[in-house]
Structure 1
Amino acid sequence: MTDTPSRRPTEPSAPKSADIPVTPEGVAEAVAEADEETVADATAGAAKPSIPVQPSATTQPPRRSYARTDAGVGTGTGTGTGTEGAAGRGTNAGPTWSAAPAWGQLSSAPIPGWEWSGSWIPKPGIVPLRPLGVGEILSGAIALLTRYWRTALTVSAAVAVLSQLMVALVTALLPLPAGSADLTLASTGNPAADLHRALVSLGDIAPLGGATGAISLFAGTLAAAGLATVASKAVMGKPASPAEAWRAVSSRLPSVVGLGLITTCATFGTLALSAAPCLIANADHSSDAAISASALLMLPGSVVALWLCISMGLAAPALVLERQSIRAALARSFRLVRGAWWRVFGVTVLVSLLTGLVSGFIALPFTAVDLIANGTGSDGTAVSSLLLAAIGGSIGAALTLPITAGASTLLYIDQRIRREALDLDLATAVGIPNYGH
């Protein structure tokens, strides 16, 4: 990425008498020579100013747009009126310049709302208005929670409580059989017996694990849609109240719920279809060869499910911010992720690991109390176990869902900046006209 246009004037050129020694005689000669040149210029009617003057609106210096590298998009620099295309974004006439301070009055202090990155880049909100790095996406998602905590926690707490109630209900209806699920998977020396035991364990935990995973994905989609407006305002440094977030989502609530259901069913439905032949073959006591062959189907099924989950991950912000239909939002997400799948995947996995650690740390005291109260042999369906798990899960989800949702919206904005130069529109929206031209 090349630098954004700098607003600092160019350095003055060295004087003609730069080789004169710094002595009283040399200084006197330099002053005399300067006086002679000034008199000569005055005679010609064009005295040279001693301090560079900022150019007027009709003779402005060129401004350069920084590089945006992505699939099908290059970089472009130039002056005057340009065009947009695969070669880059041209430049237009710059803004009207105000009176410039003298050289001695220039300061390198940060400009409010701007940050230094080789040149001054606007940062009116939680992230700078340029293509974002992984660290900036993470820090911006955390800043969404810390700066807009009232609105973020209001939305995330509602989604967290709803999702944890659903998890408690599923746990009560589909309990994990006590002692039947062998999660150690220690080898016995018999491959057929080991495969059978692994499939039995998978069959035991699949209903509960799949249901809780689907609920988590559904809750994440709801949170991403509910906080998309908040995150977009945070990027521009504008306030966002819970009422504004609700107004933005309420009219789209059926579409948001439908999108969450489609995303969840597509991801976990693919996993279930890939695992079903193996589980059925094992339940029918088929041959080891048939069971092993059907088990291999779970590998490509898992890959397809992961690809779908990442490719549809930007649909929620597109649905709310662009006011699109479910189908159009899904297509929009696929287009934005195409060519950057691994980057989106890496950021998503990193955010999931961090939020998972935080959620686990928060739930740890509640799990310890459950073990003390109900013992290690509990199947988790006791009222006290369900209550403790719901409280711990709600607190953890309320604190981590804003980070997950913020990262999703920032990824959406980042991809639009890289592909569509959205940063120029954002800069105009916050009162920085002609930025990047």
Structure 2
Amino acid sequence: MSGYEHFPPPGAPVGEPATPPPPGWAPPSSTTSDRQRPWTPPVGMLGAAHKPGVIPLRPLGLGDLYDASFRVIRFNPQATVGVAVLVAALTMAVPVLVTAVLTFTLGLTIDESSEGVGDTVSSWSTLTSALMLQVSLVFVTACVAHVVSQAAIGRRTTLAATWAATRGRRWRLVGLSLLVLVSFLAIIVGYVVAWVLVVELTDGAVLPLLFGFVSVPAFLALMGWVWIRLLYLPAPVLVLEQVGMLRAIGRGYRLSARQTWRTLGIALLTLLITVVAAQMLAVPFSVAGLLLSDVVDPAHSALVLVVSQALATVAAAAFAGPFTAAVVSLQYVDLRMRKEGYDVELMARAGVLGR
């Protein structure tokens, strides 16, 4: 009982003495400091400390990552979906403008006399869209990383503030985007050249089969390793830690250490989900473009086809972009909480630890 005050029972008249203390009880010594007694948080404060925003500040499982991703998007759709749509629209404006110039200056058309032109235009537009979308995804991830860091402490940011958060680091993000593109292209080209050399310099099928049996798993493992260890986390690091591109790559390499396969598994599952969902969102626009290209003036059919594919890409990016970027950013937060106590830093920024 030492250290606790006795209060009158409920309903007792004010002013009447409280229940007398038991024999031998004495008031606490004046030398006892409140700081010597363990502090117990008020009811409800513990839950707020672990989740001051939309993200539980503890190591995140797969379900936590996906649930938190959707919560971040719902919490701030303007700065997540909005930035993804804006970046995708600006990116897809390039093939649309190029096709428009070719259509109105050189008379690019799709008709029966131009066999293969439609397939060529469609393939060129699809390839350009895929490559440019991968480059733009780095910018989307960087912006959403800022949104995630604010949502983790219960703050909502605007699209303008999110874009302003990348000020001073945009050229580094451009360099990172190009590095991602060049790295994967170099690995793919190198692997194709290796296959050509093996096929051309050997007789029979035994050695090519053996090479394929050994090299295909190695090639996929190398692609996954480069993706996760070197190129997956630098975008959030660039924005949230304000370091250079090379230091961001090194930081991502250290954070993903001993977490490579877990991070890769989540990334591949996220990629599968977004690809399926993006295709479902893009199909109506693609089908509409194919139908319209058959009924409009042949002089404008190529432009109609490219515009429809651009709209399909923007529609797909409206989901795939913010969801993928949120998962990447949350994996960055998760790895820092697991390794560096980042949850304590976030709670301090939210003002929880100072209450």
**TM-score interval, normalised by the smaller of the two chains:** 0.7 to 0.9
CA distance in 2, matches of 1:162, 1:309: 25
Query: Which residue pairs with 2:242 in the alignment?
Result: 323
Which moved further from structure 2: 327-336 or 352-361? 352-361
Deviation at 1:385, TM superposition (A): 1.3
CA distance in 2, matches of 1:46, 1:272: 84
CA distance in 2, matches of 1:352, 1:131: 22
Alignment of 1:389-404 (within 5 A): 389-404=309-324
1:259/1:427 CA distance change after superposition, 3 Å? same
**Any unmatched runs of 5+ in structure 2?**
1-18, 103-114, 295-300
Query: Which residue pairs with 1:420 in the alignment?
Result: 340
Which moved further from structure 2: 315-324 or 155-164? 155-164
Alignment of 1:94-109 (within 5 A): none
The count of residues paired between Structure 1 and Structure 2 equals 311
CA distance in 2, matches of 1:170, 1:137: 40
Residue 311 (structure 2) pairs with residue 383 (structure 1): no
Letter in 2 for 1:308: V
Residue 158 (structure 2) pairs with residue 247 (structure 1): no
* Structure number with bigger Rg: 1
CA distance in 1, matches of 2:292, 2:203: 44
String of CA shifts for 1:169-212, please: whole Å, max 9, x gaps.
89999xxx959x9xxxxxxxxxxxxxxxxxxxxxxx99988765
8 Å CA contact retained: 1:121, 1:128: no
CA distance in 2, matches of 1:280, 1:207: 28
Alignment of 1:125-144 (within 5 A): 125-144=53-72
8 Å CA contact retained: 1:274, 1:298: no
Query: Which residue pairs with 1:226 in the alignment?
Result: 143
Q: Secondary structure at the match of 1:250?
A: coil
* TM-score (ref. length: structure 1): 0.62
CA distance in 2, matches of 1:390, 1:288: 46
Deviation at 1:367, TM superposition (A): 2.1
From the two aligned structures, give the one with the greater helix fraction.
2
The root-mean-square deviation of aligned C-alpha atoms, in Å, is 3.8
CA distance in 1, matches of 2:49, 2:266: 23
Identity over the aligned pairs, expressed in percent?
25
Query: Which residue pairs with 2:254 in the alignment?
Result: 335
CA distance in 2, matches of 1:303, 1:178: 37
Residue 307 (structure 2) pairs with residue 307 (structure 1): no
Alignment of 1:103-182 (within 5 A): 111=44, 115=47, 122-166=50-94
String of CA shifts for 1:289-325, please: whole Å, max 9, x gaps.
4765665645423321221112221111011100011
* TM-score (ref. length: structure 2): 0.75
String of CA shifts for 1:211-236, please: whole Å, max 9, x gaps.
65443332221111122111100111
Which one has more relative contact order, counting CA pairs under 8 Å at least 6 apart? 2
Deviation at 1:359, TM superposition (A): 1.3
Query: Which residue pairs with 1:372 in the alignment?
Result: 291
8 Å CA contact retained: 1:268, 1:305: no
CA distance in 1, matches of 2:340, 2:54: 20
1:142/1:291 CA distance change after superposition, 3 Å? same
1:154/1:124 CA distance change after superposition, 3 Å? same
Query: Which residue pairs with 1:46 in the alignment?
Result: 26
8 Å CA contact retained: 1:228, 1:321: yes
8 Å CA contact retained: 1:210, 1:268: no
Letter in 2 for 1:412: Y
**Any unmatched runs of 5+ in structure 1?**
1-36, 49-54, 62-93, 101-106, 182-204, 376-380
